[in-house]
């Protein structure tokens, strides 16, 4: 039997992947809307999703640090292993930095983040329109960097599966049928 | 004995009046619009937000010796509204919100001032926004001073009563019905 990620790691990976896909698309869509109750609702949902994802990512990072990933195949050249490892840590860093930048942007723009309309997050920055615009650019740039990194991540996974024909992709796939 | 006590208390009262005289004589009648602040607090999906009215003016009379005779007419030109975001500032001028083209000014006219003790008063009057007039009353805290006095308080209103936010905005799920108009007013003595 080839080494697999733990089922917790697998569940977190796919849950967070779905969450990122949803909130990224929502973010892209909502910013172009003209002001309406729907727009305000979508912004709130996006912010709630961001806080939720941040919490999940912190938990996942903790899990990852206490449950090492299965070793990469011996056939991989050292430079590629290093690149793979670096790319994963960049992904983690982006997944933390993106919700943080969104939260800071909200504070600077004067809109406090209240998780699910119930739990207020402190405003770490005072209202500052210019800083808010800068943070918006930062949030956007980080997101497009993440998009590029996810593209690389998916391409690498597919290369492992279809070209290298190793287990790097399948060890992260959920096993629906347990025999 | 009785005679002496009476004289003493009369003297004390006269002294007190004499000392308090200059402060008591101040009747406030001019709003310091630069130092004063009028804003509003509203809630959007659980998030409390603060806006400001950048323009306002008032006629007011307040004599600390006769507070129940105090009166004010307070006007807020709604073109000077600051919701906290430029997008919001444009939106609230629209027909569905304040319709500032047809109803440029919000106005409060007081009808009664009731002392509640401890320099607190209940002010009653009529609030007119967007062509609708509703009776309102709210507490005001007075802080005496020379030469300026401070009046602070919040006027709670329901935006639905004034059709502020119609159509898509009429539901209170996103923008709550309750809005507080929060004020911190600095009044100067009546011009002699």
> Positive or negative CA dihedral for A151, A152, A153, A155?
positive
Contacts of A112 in chain B (CB under 8 A): 47-49
Which stretches of chain B drop beneath a pLDDT of 50? Answer: 1-2, 11, 14-23
Cβ burial of B76 (10 Å; 0-12, 13-18, 19+) is buried
**Does residue B24 sit at the A interface (CB-CB below 8 Å)?**
no
Contacts of A38 in chain B (CB under 8 A): 168
The count of structural domains within chain A is: 1
Please name the residue of chain B whose CA is at the shortest distance from the CA of residue A119: B46
Minimal C-alpha gap between A31 and chain B (Å): 12
- Please judge whether B85 and A109 are an interchain contact, meaning their C-beta atoms are less than 8 angstroms apart: yes
Q: What is the mean pLDDT of residues A28-36?
A: 94
- Using omega within 30 degrees of 0 as the cis cutoff, is the peptide bond preceding B147 cis? yes
In a domain, A2, yes or no: no
The pLDDT of residue A3: 85
CATH number of the domain enclosing A38: 1.20.950
Angle at A157 between CA A6 and CA A10, to 5 degrees: 20
Please give the sequence-ordered ranges of beta strands (E in DSSP) within chain A, or none if there are none: 114-115, 119-120
Cβ burial of B79 (10 Å; 0-12, 13-18, 19+) is middle
B26-189 topology per CATH? Lipocalin (2.40.128)
ipTM of the complex: 0.79
**Does residue A130 sit at the B interface (CB-CB below 8 Å)?**
no
Backbone conformation region of residue B165, classed left if phi is above 0, alpha if psi is from -120 to 50, else beta: left
Contacts of B173 in chain A (CB under 8 A): 37
Structure confidence by residue, pLDDT tens digits, B122-153: 999 999 999 999 999 999 999 998 889 999 99
- Is A42 in contact with A26 (CB distance < 8 Å)? yes
- Joined tokens for residue A125: 């920055």
Q: Which of B45, B48, B90 sits opposite A41 (nearest CB)?
A: B45
The pLDDT of residue A82: 95
Give the DSSP H or E segment for B143. Answer: strand B132-143
Q: How far apart are CA B120 and CA B141, in angstroms?
A: 5
Provide the β-strand partners of residue B109. Answer: B73, B126
The domain of A155 spans 7-172
- How far out from the chain centre does Cα A161 lie? 23
pTM here is 0.84
């Amino acid at each position: 039997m080839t080494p697999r990620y733990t089922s917790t790691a697998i569940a977190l990976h796919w849950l967070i992947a779905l969450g990122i896909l949803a909130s990224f698309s929502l973010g892209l869509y909502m910013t172009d809307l003209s002001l309406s109750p729907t727009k305000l609702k979508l912004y709130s949902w996006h912010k709630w999703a961001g806080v939720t994802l941040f919490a999940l990512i912190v938990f996942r990072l903790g899990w990852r640090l206490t449950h090492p990933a299965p070793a990469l195949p011996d056939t991989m050249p050292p430079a590629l292993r290093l690149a793979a490892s670096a790319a994963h840590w960049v992904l983690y860093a982006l997944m933390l930095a993106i919700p943080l930048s969104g939260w800071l942007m909200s504070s600077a723009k004067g809109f406090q983040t209240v998780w699910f309309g119930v739990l207020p997050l402190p405003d770490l920055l005072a209202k500052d329109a210019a800083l808010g615009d800068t943070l918006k650019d930062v949030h956007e740039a980080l997101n497009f960097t993440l998009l590029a990194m996810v593209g690389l991540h998916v391409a690498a996974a597919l290369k492992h599966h279809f070209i290298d024909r190793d287990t790097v992709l399948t060890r992260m796939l959920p096993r629906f049928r347990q025999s | 004995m009785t005679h002496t006590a009476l004289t003493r208390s009369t003297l004390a009262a006269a002294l007190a009046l004499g000392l308090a005289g200059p402060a008591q004589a101040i009747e406030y009648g001019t709003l310091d619009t630069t130092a004063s602040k009028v804003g509003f607090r509203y809630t959007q999906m659980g998030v409390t937000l603060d806006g400001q009215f950048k323009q306002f003016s008032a006629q007011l009379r307040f004599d600390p010796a006769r507070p129940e005779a105090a009166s004010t007419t307070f006007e807020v030109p709604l073109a000077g509204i600051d919701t906290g975001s430029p997008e919001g500032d444009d939106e609230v001028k629209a027909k569905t919100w304040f319709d500032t083209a047809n109803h440029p000014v919000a106005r409060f006219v007081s009808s009664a001032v009731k002392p509640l003790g401890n320099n607190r008063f209940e002010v009653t009057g009529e609030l007119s926004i967007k062509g609708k007039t509703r009776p309102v009353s709210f507490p005001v805290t007075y802080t005496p001073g020379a030469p300026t006095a401070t009046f602070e308080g919040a006027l709670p209103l329901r935006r639905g009563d004034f059709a502020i936010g119609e159509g898509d905005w009429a539901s209170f799920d996103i923008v709550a019905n309750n809005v507080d108009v929060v004020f911190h007013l600095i009044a100067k003595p009546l011009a002699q």
